[in-house]
Amino acid sequence: MDGPRAIQMNELDQVISFLNENLRPDQSWTIDQEYPEVFNSKNTHNIQVVTDNENILSHAAIKFFLIKTPFGLFKTAAIGSVVTDPNHRNKGLSQSLLEKCIASAKEQQADFAILWTDLFNFYRKLGFELAGTEMSIIVDKNLLTTPSKLKFMDTLKIAPESILNLYSKHTVGSIRTVQELNRYLKIPNTKLYTAWDNNQLLAYAVEGKGADLNGYIHEWGGGVSHLVELFDYIYKSQKKPITIISPDNCSNLIRTLKDHHLTVNTGYLGMIKILNTKNLFSKIVRHARSLGENKFIFLEQDNEYILGVKSNLFKTNSEQDVIQLIFGPHSDSLLNKFDPETKKIIQKVLPLPMWFWGWDSV
Protein backbone atom coordinates (compact mmCIF):
# COMPACT_ATOMS: atom_id res chain seq x y z
CA MET A 1 0.00 0.00 0.00
CA ASP A 2 1.21 3.49 -0.85
CA GLY A 3 0.20 6.65 1.02
CA PRO A 4 -1.49 8.67 2.30
CA ARG A 5 0.29 10.90 -0.20
CA ALA A 6 -0.41 13.76 -2.58
CA ILE A 7 -1.03 12.69 -6.16
CA GLN A 8 1.29 13.29 -9.10
CA MET A 9 0.03 15.47 -11.93
CA ASN A 10 -0.38 12.41 -14.20
CA GLU A 11 -2.73 10.75 -11.66
CA LEU A 12 -5.39 13.48 -11.78
CA ASP A 13 -7.49 11.76 -14.47
CA GLN A 14 -7.43 8.50 -12.49
CA VAL A 15 -8.60 10.34 -9.34
CA ILE A 16 -11.45 11.97 -11.29
CA SER A 17 -12.55 8.54 -12.65
CA PHE A 18 -12.40 7.03 -9.13
CA LEU A 19 -14.55 9.84 -7.71
CA ASN A 20 -17.03 9.77 -10.60
CA GLU A 21 -17.49 6.04 -10.09
CA ASN A 22 -17.86 6.22 -6.28
CA LEU A 23 -19.56 9.58 -5.67
CA ARG A 24 -21.36 10.49 -8.92
CA PRO A 25 -22.33 7.17 -10.57
CA ASP A 26 -25.54 8.53 -12.09
CA GLN A 27 -24.44 11.94 -13.35
CA SER A 28 -23.71 12.99 -16.88
CA TRP A 29 -20.91 15.36 -15.83
CA THR A 30 -17.56 14.74 -14.14
CA ILE A 31 -16.56 15.74 -10.60
CA ASP A 32 -13.96 18.25 -11.79
CA GLN A 33 -16.75 20.19 -13.55
CA GLU A 34 -18.58 20.35 -10.23
CA TYR A 35 -15.49 21.38 -8.21
CA PRO A 36 -13.31 23.24 -10.72
CA GLU A 37 -11.17 24.84 -8.00
CA VAL A 38 -10.38 21.51 -6.30
CA PHE A 39 -9.69 19.11 -9.18
CA ASN A 40 -7.30 20.99 -11.39
CA SER A 41 -3.59 20.75 -12.13
CA LYS A 42 -2.79 23.67 -9.77
CA ASN A 43 -4.22 21.85 -6.72
CA THR A 44 -2.73 18.33 -7.12
CA HIS A 45 -0.49 18.80 -4.04
CA ASN A 46 -3.73 19.01 -2.00
CA ILE A 47 -5.33 15.88 -3.46
CA GLN A 48 -4.44 12.97 -1.16
CA VAL A 49 -4.82 9.26 -1.87
CA VAL A 50 -3.98 5.80 -0.62
CA THR A 51 -3.17 3.43 -3.50
CA ASP A 52 -2.35 -0.24 -3.91
CA ASN A 53 -0.84 -1.63 -7.12
CA GLU A 54 -1.63 1.71 -8.75
CA ASN A 55 -5.33 1.42 -7.82
CA ILE A 56 -6.85 4.21 -5.75
CA LEU A 57 -8.36 2.85 -2.52
CA SER A 58 -9.18 6.04 -0.65
CA HIS A 59 -9.27 9.79 -1.33
CA ALA A 60 -9.66 13.20 0.32
CA ALA A 61 -8.97 16.68 -1.10
CA ILE A 62 -8.28 20.11 0.37
CA LYS A 63 -9.09 23.47 -1.14
CA PHE A 64 -7.70 26.51 0.63
CA PHE A 65 -9.72 29.71 0.85
CA LEU A 66 -8.84 33.12 2.20
CA ILE A 67 -11.92 34.30 4.09
CA LYS A 68 -12.55 38.00 4.69
CA THR A 69 -14.21 38.80 8.06
CA PRO A 70 -14.51 41.84 10.36
CA PHE A 71 -11.74 40.19 12.46
CA GLY A 72 -9.35 40.06 9.49
CA LEU A 73 -8.42 37.43 6.92
CA PHE A 74 -8.34 33.73 7.75
CA LYS A 75 -6.74 30.97 5.72
CA THR A 76 -9.08 28.00 5.79
CA ALA A 77 -8.77 24.43 4.56
CA ALA A 78 -12.02 23.01 3.18
CA ILE A 79 -11.84 19.22 3.02
CA GLY A 80 -14.08 17.27 0.67
CA SER A 81 -14.72 14.26 -1.57
CA VAL A 82 -13.74 11.93 1.30
CA VAL A 83 -14.34 8.41 0.04
CA THR A 84 -12.95 4.89 0.32
CA ASP A 85 -13.44 2.07 -2.20
CA PRO A 86 -16.36 -0.03 -0.79
CA ASN A 87 -14.10 -3.13 -0.74
CA HIS A 88 -11.56 -1.41 1.53
CA ARG A 89 -13.68 0.33 4.15
CA ASN A 90 -13.27 0.10 7.96
CA LYS A 91 -9.52 -0.41 7.75
CA GLY A 92 -8.64 3.12 8.90
CA LEU A 93 -7.77 4.40 5.40
CA SER A 94 -10.01 7.44 5.55
CA GLN A 95 -8.91 8.30 9.05
CA SER A 96 -5.23 8.19 8.06
CA LEU A 97 -5.92 10.32 4.96
CA LEU A 98 -7.78 12.90 7.03
CA GLU A 99 -4.91 13.01 9.53
CA LYS A 100 -2.59 13.64 6.59
CA CYS A 101 -4.91 16.40 5.28
CA ILE A 102 -4.94 18.04 8.74
CA ALA A 103 -1.12 17.88 9.01
CA SER A 104 -0.74 19.27 5.49
CA ALA A 105 -3.21 22.11 6.18
CA LYS A 106 -1.26 22.98 9.36
CA GLU A 107 2.00 22.99 7.40
CA GLN A 108 0.39 25.32 4.87
CA GLN A 109 -0.53 27.67 7.75
CA ALA A 110 -4.30 27.30 7.66
CA ASP A 111 -6.13 28.74 10.67
CA PHE A 112 -8.88 26.12 10.67
CA ALA A 113 -10.34 23.29 8.62
CA ILE A 114 -13.99 22.89 7.67
CA LEU A 115 -16.06 20.15 6.05
CA TRP A 116 -19.69 19.40 5.32
CA THR A 117 -20.98 15.98 6.36
CA ASP A 118 -23.61 14.06 8.27
CA LEU A 119 -21.06 11.61 9.74
CA PHE A 120 -20.66 13.70 12.89
CA ASN A 121 -19.11 11.07 15.15
CA PHE A 122 -16.62 9.92 12.52
CA TYR A 123 -15.22 13.47 12.27
CA ARG A 124 -15.49 14.19 16.02
CA LYS A 125 -12.82 11.53 16.57
CA LEU A 126 -10.50 13.78 14.55
CA GLY A 127 -11.35 16.90 16.59
CA PHE A 128 -14.00 18.43 14.32
CA GLU A 129 -17.13 19.90 15.90
CA LEU A 130 -20.39 21.27 14.50
CA ALA A 131 -20.13 25.05 14.62
CA GLY A 132 -21.02 28.33 12.95
CA THR A 133 -24.56 29.30 12.04
CA GLU A 134 -26.52 28.84 8.85
CA MET A 135 -29.97 30.33 8.43
CA SER A 136 -32.40 28.91 5.89
CA ILE A 137 -35.51 30.81 4.93
CA ILE A 138 -38.30 29.15 2.98
CA VAL A 139 -40.01 31.36 0.42
CA ASP A 140 -43.41 29.77 -0.10
CA LYS A 141 -45.55 32.84 -0.73
CA ASN A 142 -45.52 36.01 -2.83
CA LEU A 143 -43.30 38.71 -1.36
CA LEU A 144 -44.58 41.61 -3.47
CA THR A 145 -48.10 42.90 -3.71
CA THR A 146 -47.42 45.32 -6.59
CA PRO A 147 -45.49 44.43 -9.76
CA SER A 148 -41.73 45.05 -9.64
CA LYS A 149 -40.23 47.70 -11.91
CA LEU A 150 -37.00 45.71 -12.26
CA LYS A 151 -36.09 43.50 -15.20
CA PHE A 152 -35.32 39.87 -14.33
CA MET A 153 -33.23 37.36 -16.24
CA ASP A 154 -32.41 33.70 -15.78
CA THR A 155 -29.32 33.14 -17.86
CA LEU A 156 -25.73 32.26 -16.98
CA LYS A 157 -24.48 34.63 -19.69
CA ILE A 158 -23.74 37.49 -17.31
CA ALA A 159 -20.35 39.21 -17.06
CA PRO A 160 -18.58 37.69 -14.01
CA GLU A 161 -17.17 41.14 -13.23
CA SER A 162 -20.62 42.53 -12.41
CA ILE A 163 -21.43 39.58 -10.14
CA LEU A 164 -18.04 39.90 -8.44
CA ASN A 165 -18.76 43.59 -7.88
CA LEU A 166 -21.88 42.77 -5.83
CA TYR A 167 -20.28 39.70 -4.21
CA SER A 168 -17.35 41.73 -2.90
CA LYS A 169 -19.75 43.91 -0.88
CA HIS A 170 -20.39 41.00 1.50
CA THR A 171 -18.60 41.49 4.82
CA VAL A 172 -17.80 37.76 5.10
CA GLY A 173 -16.77 35.36 2.34
CA SER A 174 -13.84 34.02 0.36
CA ILE A 175 -11.67 36.31 -1.72
CA ARG A 176 -12.40 35.47 -5.37
CA THR A 177 -11.01 36.41 -8.75
CA VAL A 178 -12.99 37.00 -11.96
CA GLN A 179 -11.43 33.81 -13.38
CA GLU A 180 -12.68 31.72 -10.43
CA LEU A 181 -16.15 33.19 -10.75
CA ASN A 182 -16.14 32.45 -14.46
CA ARG A 183 -15.36 28.79 -13.70
CA TYR A 184 -18.09 28.65 -11.02
CA LEU A 185 -20.61 29.92 -13.59
CA LYS A 186 -19.86 26.82 -15.70
CA ILE A 187 -20.71 24.30 -12.92
CA PRO A 188 -23.42 21.92 -14.19
CA ASN A 189 -26.93 22.36 -12.73
CA THR A 190 -26.35 25.97 -11.76
CA LYS A 191 -29.13 28.49 -12.29
CA LEU A 192 -28.39 32.20 -12.08
CA TYR A 193 -31.16 34.73 -11.55
CA THR A 194 -30.45 38.44 -11.90
CA ALA A 195 -32.34 41.71 -11.32
CA TRP A 196 -31.60 44.79 -13.45
CA ASP A 197 -32.46 48.43 -13.75
CA ASN A 198 -31.29 50.32 -16.85
CA ASN A 199 -28.61 47.72 -17.63
CA GLN A 200 -27.26 47.89 -14.11
CA LEU A 201 -27.06 44.63 -12.16
CA LEU A 202 -28.76 45.20 -8.79
CA ALA A 203 -29.07 41.67 -7.39
CA TYR A 204 -28.21 38.05 -8.21
CA ALA A 205 -29.14 34.66 -6.79
CA VAL A 206 -27.70 31.23 -7.57
CA GLU A 207 -29.56 27.94 -7.27
CA GLY A 208 -28.09 24.42 -7.49
CA LYS A 209 -24.53 23.21 -7.84
CA GLY A 210 -23.84 19.88 -9.55
CA ALA A 211 -25.46 17.10 -7.50
CA ASP A 212 -26.06 19.41 -4.53
CA LEU A 213 -28.19 22.35 -3.43
CA ASN A 214 -31.09 21.87 -5.84
CA GLY A 215 -33.95 24.10 -4.67
CA TYR A 216 -31.54 26.15 -2.56
CA ILE A 217 -30.38 29.69 -3.26
CA HIS A 218 -26.85 29.26 -1.92
CA GLU A 219 -25.28 32.45 -3.25
CA TRP A 220 -26.81 35.86 -3.58
CA GLY A 221 -25.83 39.52 -3.53
CA GLY A 222 -27.27 43.00 -3.88
CA GLY A 223 -29.39 45.35 -1.80
CA VAL A 224 -32.04 43.88 0.48
CA SER A 225 -35.06 45.38 -1.33
CA HIS A 226 -33.76 44.25 -4.74
CA LEU A 227 -33.07 40.76 -3.39
CA VAL A 228 -36.61 40.49 -2.05
CA GLU A 229 -37.93 41.43 -5.50
CA LEU A 230 -35.64 38.82 -7.08
CA PHE A 231 -36.71 36.08 -4.64
CA ASP A 232 -40.34 36.96 -5.37
CA TYR A 233 -39.63 36.60 -9.11
CA ILE A 234 -37.92 33.20 -8.58
CA TYR A 235 -40.77 31.88 -6.44
CA LYS A 236 -43.42 33.03 -8.94
CA SER A 237 -41.58 31.72 -12.00
CA GLN A 238 -40.74 28.32 -10.44
CA LYS A 239 -44.20 27.95 -8.87
CA LYS A 240 -42.67 26.00 -5.96
CA PRO A 241 -41.05 26.94 -2.63
CA ILE A 242 -37.36 27.84 -2.64
CA THR A 243 -34.99 27.98 0.31
CA ILE A 244 -32.58 30.87 0.78
CA ILE A 245 -29.38 29.99 2.67
CA SER A 246 -27.83 32.88 4.56
CA PRO A 247 -25.20 33.71 7.15
CA ASP A 248 -26.81 34.95 10.36
CA ASN A 249 -24.98 38.30 10.20
CA CYS A 250 -27.13 39.38 7.20
CA SER A 251 -29.65 40.65 9.73
CA ASN A 252 -31.44 43.17 7.46
CA LEU A 253 -32.33 40.54 4.87
CA ILE A 254 -33.36 38.00 7.51
CA ARG A 255 -35.50 40.57 9.35
CA THR A 256 -37.18 41.65 6.11
CA LEU A 257 -37.97 38.05 5.15
CA LYS A 258 -39.22 37.32 8.68
CA ASP A 259 -41.60 40.29 8.30
CA HIS A 260 -43.21 38.32 5.46
CA HIS A 261 -43.92 35.54 7.99
CA LEU A 262 -41.65 33.04 6.24
CA THR A 263 -40.29 29.99 8.06
CA VAL A 264 -36.72 30.56 9.24
CA ASN A 265 -34.60 27.59 10.37
CA THR A 266 -31.24 27.72 12.13
CA GLY A 267 -28.52 25.13 11.53
CA TYR A 268 -24.76 24.75 11.68
CA LEU A 269 -22.35 26.11 9.09
CA GLY A 270 -20.31 22.87 9.08
CA MET A 271 -17.83 20.83 11.11
CA ILE A 272 -14.78 22.85 12.10
CA LYS A 273 -11.35 22.02 13.53
CA ILE A 274 -8.93 24.67 14.73
CA LEU A 275 -5.42 24.34 13.26
CA ASN A 276 -3.54 27.50 14.19
CA THR A 277 -4.57 28.61 17.68
CA LYS A 278 -1.89 31.31 17.91
CA ASN A 279 -3.04 33.21 14.83
CA LEU A 280 -6.75 32.63 15.39
CA PHE A 281 -6.72 33.61 19.08
CA SER A 282 -4.50 36.66 18.53
CA LYS A 283 -6.90 38.03 15.89
CA ILE A 284 -9.80 37.51 18.31
CA VAL A 285 -7.91 39.30 21.10
CA ARG A 286 -7.04 42.12 18.69
CA HIS A 287 -10.70 42.42 17.74
CA ALA A 288 -11.66 42.47 21.45
CA ARG A 289 -9.17 45.33 21.96
CA SER A 290 -10.75 47.25 19.07
CA LEU A 291 -14.08 46.92 20.91
CA GLY A 292 -12.50 48.32 24.09
CA GLU A 293 -12.07 44.97 25.87
CA ASN A 294 -8.43 45.49 26.84
CA LYS A 295 -8.27 42.85 29.56
CA PHE A 296 -9.43 39.90 27.47
CA ILE A 297 -6.97 37.00 27.21
CA PHE A 298 -7.25 34.00 24.87
CA LEU A 299 -4.32 31.65 24.38
CA GLU A 300 -3.20 28.03 24.24
CA GLN A 301 -0.55 26.88 26.70
CA ASP A 302 0.63 23.33 27.46
CA ASN A 303 -2.34 21.79 25.60
CA GLU A 304 -4.80 23.91 27.55
CA TYR A 305 -6.95 26.74 26.29
CA ILE A 306 -6.92 29.77 28.60
CA LEU A 307 -9.42 32.59 28.33
CA GLY A 308 -11.02 35.31 30.39
CA VAL A 309 -9.74 38.41 32.14
CA LYS A 310 -6.49 38.46 34.12
CA SER A 311 -8.11 38.22 37.52
CA ASN A 312 -10.41 35.41 36.43
CA LEU A 313 -8.96 33.01 33.87
CA PHE A 314 -10.69 29.85 32.70
CA LYS A 315 -8.83 26.78 31.55
CA THR A 316 -10.22 24.00 29.43
CA ASN A 317 -8.85 21.23 27.29
CA SER A 318 -12.09 20.83 25.37
CA GLU A 319 -11.33 21.58 21.73
CA GLN A 320 -15.05 21.19 21.03
CA ASP A 321 -16.02 23.93 23.52
CA VAL A 322 -13.43 26.31 22.08
CA ILE A 323 -14.63 25.72 18.49
CA GLN A 324 -18.21 26.62 19.49
CA LEU A 325 -17.06 29.58 21.58
CA ILE A 326 -15.26 31.00 18.55
CA PHE A 327 -17.73 30.20 15.78
CA GLY A 328 -20.94 29.78 17.79
CA PRO A 329 -23.58 28.83 18.51
CA HIS A 330 -23.32 29.94 22.15
CA SER A 331 -25.54 27.61 24.13
CA ASP A 332 -26.46 28.56 27.72
CA SER A 333 -24.61 25.50 29.03
CA LEU A 334 -21.44 26.68 27.27
CA LEU A 335 -21.67 30.32 28.42
CA ASN A 336 -22.62 29.42 31.99
CA LYS A 337 -19.19 27.84 32.44
CA PHE A 338 -17.84 31.42 32.77
CA ASP A 339 -18.23 34.12 35.41
CA PRO A 340 -20.61 36.99 34.50
CA GLU A 341 -17.81 39.40 33.48
CA THR A 342 -16.11 36.94 31.12
CA LYS A 343 -19.47 35.82 29.77
CA LYS A 344 -20.32 39.43 28.92
CA ILE A 345 -17.03 39.88 27.04
CA ILE A 346 -17.45 36.60 25.16
CA GLN A 347 -20.95 37.62 24.09
CA LYS A 348 -19.69 41.04 22.99
CA VAL A 349 -16.67 39.78 21.02
CA LEU A 350 -17.74 36.37 19.71
CA PRO A 351 -18.83 34.49 17.68
CA LEU A 352 -16.48 35.34 14.86
CA PRO A 353 -18.73 35.81 11.81
CA MET A 354 -17.74 33.02 9.43
CA TRP A 355 -19.32 32.01 6.16
CA PHE A 356 -18.70 29.97 3.04
CA TRP A 357 -20.94 30.81 0.11
CA GLY A 358 -22.34 27.74 -1.68
CA TRP A 359 -20.03 27.75 -4.70
CA ASP A 360 -17.06 27.30 -2.32
CA SER A 361 -18.44 24.18 -0.62
CA VAL A 362 -16.31 21.12 -1.45
Ligand X SMILES: CC(C)(COP(=O)(O)OP(=O)(O)OC[C@H]1O[C@@H](n2cnc3c(N)ncnc32)[C@H](O)[C@@H]1OP(=O)(O)O)[C@@H](O)C(=O)NCCC(=O)NCCS
**Contact set with ligand X (CB under 6 A):** 58, 82-84, 89-95, 117, 119, 121-122
CA-CA distance, 31 to 13, in Å (whole number)?
Answer: 11
Show the beta-strand stretches assigned E in the chain: 2-6, 47-52, 55-69, 72-84, 112-115, 129-131, 134-139, 151-153, 173-174, 191-197, 200-209, 212-222, 242-247, 263-267, 270-274, 296-301, 304-309, 312-316
Measured from the CB atom, is 82 or 131 closer to ligand X? 82
Least distance CB 89 / ligand X (angstroms): 3
Least distance CB 128 / ligand X (angstroms): 10
CA-CA distance, 58 to 5, in Å (whole number)?
Answer: 11
Measured from the CB atom, is 117 or 318 closer to ligand X? 117
Least distance CB 269 / ligand X (angstroms): 15
Measured from the CB atom, is 95 or 189 closer to ligand X? 95
Task: Report angle CA 172, 178, 184 to the nearest 5 degrees.
Answer: 80
For residue 274, the SS3 value is: strand
CA within 13 Å, CB half, 63? 21
Measured from the CB atom, is 83 or 257 closer to ligand X? 83
Q: Strands 200-209 and 191-197, how do they pair?
A: antiparallel
Measured from the CB atom, is 132 or 353 closer to ligand X? 132
CA-CA distance, 278 to 111, in Å (whole number)?
Answer: 9
Count, residues in the chain: 362
Least distance CB 100 / ligand X (angstroms): 12
Rg (CA), the chain: 22
Measured from the CB atom, is 123 or 204 closer to ligand X? 123
CA-CA distance, 341 to 338, in Å (whole number)?
Answer: 8
Least distance CB 52 / ligand X (angstroms): 13
Measured from the CB atom, is 119 or 156 closer to ligand X? 119
Question: Looking at beta carbons, which residue is closest to ligand X?
Answer: 92
